[in-house]
Amino acid sequence: MHWVCATSTFDVQPTSQRSSDIISSESAKIRTRLPRQAAALPWNLIATLLGLGVLLLASSATAQTGAAFTGRFIVKFKESAQKSHIAVPMRLNQLAVGTTARLKHIRPMAVGAHVVGVEGAQTPQAIEALAGDLARDPDVEYAEPERIRKRAFIPNDEFLAAQTYLFNEPTGIDAFVAWDVTTGSSRTIVAVLDTGSRPHAAMSRRILPGYDFISDATRANDGDGRDADASDPGDWITATDRDGRFSDCNMEDSSWHGTLVAGVIAANGNDRAWTAGLNWAAKILPVRVLGKCGGTDSDIIDAIAWAAGLPVPGVPANPTPAHVINLSLGGEGACHFGYSTTMRAALARGVTRAIVVSAGNDDADVANHAPANCPEAIAVASTNSAGGKAAYSNFGAGITLAAPGGQYSRRFSIDGVLTLSNAGATTPTVDTVANVGGTSFAAPMVSGVVSLMLDIAPNLTAAQVRSILVSTAKPFLAGSSCNTAICGPGLLAADAAVRAAVAAAGPTAAVNVIEFYHRGLDHYFGSANLPEIASLDSGATRGWARTGRSFKVYPAPQPGSSAVCRFYIPPQLGDSHFFGRGTDECAATAQKNSSFIYESPAVMHVFLPNAGSCPATTLPVYRVFSSRADANHRYTTDRAVRDEMIAQGWLAEGDGSDRVVMCAPE
């Protein structure tokens, strides 16, 4: 039995006798298209409309979130010539005068603030009232009740609340914590061998030219055979098509399947729009192999070779071979030697490190589903939102691992994967999102995670990639309908896989952050970015000169390191840059300063101090703030420089008595 796309009821179609070389896409087509206008609705309403049970976006409503209070406060005193010599516990005692609360100093924090405890049980209302009392004290810069935050970094994408399969939960893939390590880079290329691509706004400038391998003009639906335009013209099937050559396919609208799959891998993240993909910077190489009613083995095999950088007769060489090849397609039968030998050659060429294939949607043993059953493939089964086997998913000893792929439910049609699509029923029209399901969407979860691993560890071999995916997979929940006999060793674990890649990558040579100074502006700026440094050195932006000072950072994550983010503070607020240490400070800065431009979550990598102390073989980095309209921060490992700036009225920001903000390699 094989699965045929386009069933609206998710039932498996009766076995049909179609030609065995026709391969269909493995989208189970839940396809509740969400109109863009849905963005105007409050999320709780959308969730209700869509049947979502739980909302996980942060809420600003304090009344309902009392349980999230820790009962502690974060208090920062004003810099005060009269009081700054007084010990913090004494200043807290002075604060508490006039309230019934007994305040207790717990520990100093970054940027001169303090964690403050309150003795005695406190209701949320009392905590908020006390915070208000404390904040009104003339000695206090701010006093805020501390809350529990579930994740270090919560991207803000429009439809993210419904992408529960990305969450750090037993049934999710832990993408949120993986993004603390990396959100990808444009160095990595993922080939999507599918229906071609649409230029969706959520992936703008992320799509490479690719190639169209569909040799049959009727199937291709673009008027000709193979060509260099991999855009998706639509693959709709009409009554006439059904009466003619495509009698084994249902009448249906265009699937935009290649765009659905690419969106799972690569939709821009944290951009306040659309969905979040796994890798927010990688390039997608669209390779068109599926048209009306599927695609052929010969076109697909050629496309695998081409995507990997191998020569294909009659086709120009691929200028951008892919690091990962995603095949969300398949059909019944044994693994052809053609697939197996081509996949082996593709991996042997060395650029491609993973060929990820959907296991198929027949609820049958993957052993009879090609090309997922080829030994070179990473075969991905699909789990549902409960962490069990999705009803449709193929299974068996040939599964490499499982990933969420959505599960259709007539009652709760949202229980799918939200991804990018096009609103056109036949030919393309405007961008939209779609709610879809199938092993078609489990495979690109794995491809997206592999692309993050290769961003961190570009030298991983294909064998290492497979081994990391398998060894880091999360065990299936007790009582799950998935077990290691049918769904592989476990569920894709993005965070553990990415951190294993960090460990496998080994040490990276440190690079220098070069400091520049602009005399006219009396302004400092540092960068470890070579083109940026070269540009400032060249005088392209007048007035900047090196100060001769530098310190070292890592260009890539190291075991135990933390990313440093960079914000641009726009001209009306200072015309300056701010480097945040760690995802907590970066997320907090983004949240508090929505007009700052969040340039990058990871411009460099350092270590974080522990209670103001840096690990062995690292140097403390000090951050001083101009406290002027130019909002200038200066970063230095030189205490004398720090002290000189403080003498000029700059403020030290950091942890412990020595005010350390980061730790740089020696």
Q: Is 268 in the site for Ca ion (CB under 5 A)?
A: yes
For residue 250 the two structure tokens come to: 């249902």
Asked if 646 and 652 touch (Cβ cutoff 8 Å), the reply is yes
Smallest distance from Ca ion to CB 529, Å? 24
Q: Is 326 in the site for Ca ion (CB under 5 A)?
A: no
By beta-carbon proximity to Ca ion, the closer residue of 117 and 225 is: 225
What is the Cα–Cα distance from 417 to 406, expressed in whole angstroms? 5
By beta-carbon proximity to Ca ion, the closer residue of 194 and 212 is: 212
- Across the beta sheet with 295-296, the strand order is 295-296, 22-25, 329-332, 369-370
The SS3 of residue 432 is strand
257 in catalytic set: yes
Which region among 85-93, 162-170, 266-274, 325-333 touches Ca ion (by CB under 5 A)?
A: 266-274
Q: How far is CA 11 from CA 184, 263, 329, 361, 362, in A?
A: 37, 26, 18, 10, 9
By beta-carbon proximity to Ca ion, the closer residue of 224 and 522 is: 224
What is the Cα–Cα distance from 294 to 2, expressed in whole angstroms? 13
Smallest distance from Ca ion to CB 203, Å? 9
Q: Is 229 in the site for Ca ion (CB under 5 A)?
A: yes
The SS3 of residue 191 is strand
Q: Which is catalytic among the residues 382, 393, 440, 451?
A: 440
Smallest distance from Ca ion to CB 231, Å? 6
Smallest distance from Ca ion to CB 278, Å? 12
Among 43, 69, 179, 274, binds Ca ion (CB under 5 A): 274
Amino acid type, 262: A
Smallest distance from Ca ion to CB 215, Å? 8
What is the Cα–Cα distance from 620 to 606, expressed in whole angstroms? 10
Kindly identify the residues of this chain, within the stretch 173-212, that bind Ca ion according to CB under 5 A: 212
By beta-carbon proximity to Ca ion, the closer residue of 122 and 195 is: 195
By beta-carbon proximity to Ca ion, the closer residue of 229 and 253 is: 229
By beta-carbon distance, which residue lies closest to Ca ion?
A: 212
Q: How far is CA 37 from CA 165, 189, 500, 652, in A?
A: 23, 32, 40, 46
Smallest distance from Ca ion to CB 657, Å? 42
Per-residue binding string, Ca ion, 394-423, x by CB under 5 A, is ------------------------------
Among 271, 363, 365, 575, binds Ca ion (CB under 5 A): 271
For residue 459, give every residue at least 6 positions away whose Cβ sits within 8 Å of its Cβ, in sequence order, or none: 505
By beta-carbon proximity to Ca ion, the closer residue of 228 and 629 is: 228
First to last CA, the chain: 62
What is the Cα–Cα distance from 267 to 321, expressed in whole angstroms? 20
Asked if 304 and 355 touch (Cβ cutoff 8 Å), the reply is yes
State the sign of the Cα–Cα–Cα–Cα dihedral 127, 131, 137, 143.
positive
Residue 310: which of 265, 356, 279, 341 has the closest Cα? 341
Kindly identify the residues of this chain, within the stretch 147-166, that bind Ca ion according to CB under 5 A: 157
Asked if 34 and 433 touch (Cβ cutoff 8 Å), the reply is yes
What is the Cα–Cα distance from 496 to 180, expressed in whole angstroms? 12
84 in catalytic set: no
By beta-carbon proximity to Ca ion, the closer residue of 157 and 362 is: 157
By beta-carbon proximity to Ca ion, the closer residue of 268 and 626 is: 268
Helix runs in 236-389, H state only: 239-243, 257-266, 297-307, 337-349
By beta-carbon proximity to Ca ion, the closer residue of 169 and 229 is: 229
The SS3 of residue 463 is helix
Report DSSP letters for 557-588, one per residue.
Answer: --TT-EEEEEEEE-GGGTSEEEEEEHHHHHHH
Smallest distance from Ca ion to CB 128, Å? 33
By beta-carbon proximity to Ca ion, the closer residue of 212 and 495 is: 212
* Three-state helix/strand/coil letters over 13-25: CCCCCCCCCEEEE
For residue 86 the two structure tokens come to: 């007084």
Which region among 34-42, 104-112, 265-273, 535-543 touches Ca ion (by CB under 5 A)?
A: 265-273
What is the Cα–Cα distance from 511 to 370, expressed in whole angstroms? 46
For residue 286, the cross-strand partners are 192
Smallest distance from Ca ion to CB 433, Å? 10
Q: What is the DSSP letter of 154?
A: -
The SS3 of residue 518 is strand
582 backbone dihedrals φ, ψ, rounded to 5°: 80, 155
Kindly identify the residues of this chain, within the stretch 209-228, that bind Ca ion according to CB under 5 A: 212, 220, 222, 224, 227
Q: How many degrees, rounded to 5, is the angle at CA 64 between CA 61 and CA 69?
A: 90
Smallest distance from Ca ion to CB 271, Å? 5
Count of CB atoms situated within 10 Å of the CB of 454: 26
Q: Which is catalytic among the residues 2, 114, 200, 257?
A: 257
Per-residue binding string, Ca ion, 277-316, x by CB under 5 A, is ----------------------------------------
Q: Give the interface size with Ca ion as a residue count (CB under 5 A).
A: 11
Which region among 117-125, 242-250, 271-279, 329-337 touches Ca ion (by CB under 5 A)?
A: 271-279
Smallest distance from Ca ion to CB 362, Å? 30
Which region among 261-269, 360-368, 568-576, 655-663 touches Ca ion (by CB under 5 A)?
A: 261-269
Q: Which is catalytic among the residues 157, 174, 180, 194?
A: 194
- Which stretches of the chain bind Ca ion, using CB under 5 A? 157, 212, 220, 222, 224, 227, 229, 268, 271, 273-274
Where in the sequence numbering do the catalytic residues fall?
A: 194, 257, 440
